[in-house]
Amino acid sequence: MSEEIKVIVFGLAHEEYGVEVDKVRTIERMMPITRVPKTPAFIKGVINLRGVVLPVIDLRGRFGLPETVETESSRIIIVAVNDLEVGFIVDAANDVIDIDENSIDTPPEVVGGIKAKYLRGVAKIGDNRLLIMLNLSEVLNKSEIIQLEQVEA
């Protein structure tokens, strides 16, 4: 039995990633970000999203990818997981597609240099398109942030 899920597809460092559409609140254009001191480098700061202050994470930084200058196509994807609401800076938000849940395979050990635990799996769409499904609660894992801070300190 197969189940279709809707997925938002975004681009990050020449790869395509997907998050379930029901975890995404909105997709915003880049907006002024206020830096928050004493936080890990991948936390870019906070934004004012219609009166609510939300932290913004640079996904490239979070995954240890080299940071780039933001472009016209850069977007902030606001996701909500386990009552955390956070914005992700991505290179581009491309598409909404339906994928078959069964087509998601467990990820190989290393995909684009990202630790496997952040990934839910890899979905194959069409012939040569691979979509990396993110494991959001792992990406937003706070205890890891604390560890990171301790390493820095």
Partner 1 sequence: MDMNDYLSMFIDESNDHLQSLNENLLKLESAPEDISIVQIIFRSAHTLKGMSATMGFEDLASLTHEMENVLDLVRNNKLKMDNFIFDTLFKGLDALESMVQDIIGGGTGKADVTAIVANLQAIVKGDHKKDQAAGSADASATGNAGGGALLDQFQSSILLQSIAAGLSVFHITVTVREDCVLKAARAYMVFDFLEHNGEIVKSVPSVQEIEQEKFDRSFTVFTIASISEQELRKGIESVSEIEGATITQLDRESLEQLAGAAAVQAAAAPIANASAAQSEVSSAKAQTAAASATATAPAAQASGGAAVASRTIRVDIERLDALMNLFSELLIDRVRLEQLASEIRRGELTETVEHMSRVSSDLQNIVLKLRMVPVESVFNRFPRMIRDLAKTLDKKVDLIITGADTELDRTVIDEIGDPLVHLLRNSLDHGIEPIADRIAAGKSETGTVHLRAFHSGNHVFIEVEEDGRGINREKVKQIAIKNGVVTADEAKRLTEAEINMLIFAPGFSTADKISDISGRGVGLDVVKSKITSLGGNVSVESVQGKGTRFSIQLPLTLSIISAMLVKLGTEKYAIPLSSIVETGIVLREQIRKIHGNRMIDYRGSVIPLISLAQVLDSTTFREEEEHETEIVVIRKGDKIGAITVDEFIGQSEIVLKSLGKYLTNIEAISGATILGDGQVALIVDPNALIK
Cβ closest to partner 1, residue 5 vs residue 49: 49
Q: Are 18 and 123 in contact (CB under 8 A)?
A: yes
- Residue of 152, 9, 31 lying closest to 87 (CA atoms): 31
**C-alpha–C-alpha distance, residues 131 and 7, integer Å:** 10
Residue 104 DSSP one-character state: E
Minimum CB–partner distance for residue 42 and partner 1 (Å): 12
Token output for 139: 């990406």
Of these, 35, 71, 109, 152, which contacts partner 1 (CB under 8 A)?
Answer: 35
Per-position x/- string for 119-148, each x denoting binding to partner 1 as judged by CB under 8 A, each - no binding: ---------------------x-x------
According to CB under 8 A, which residues from 47 to 86 bind partner 1? 47-48, 50-55, 83-86
Q: Are 70 and 79 in contact (CB under 8 A)?
A: no
**Residue ranges in contact with partner 1 by CB under 8 A:** 32, 34-39, 43, 45-48, 50-55, 83-86, 140, 142
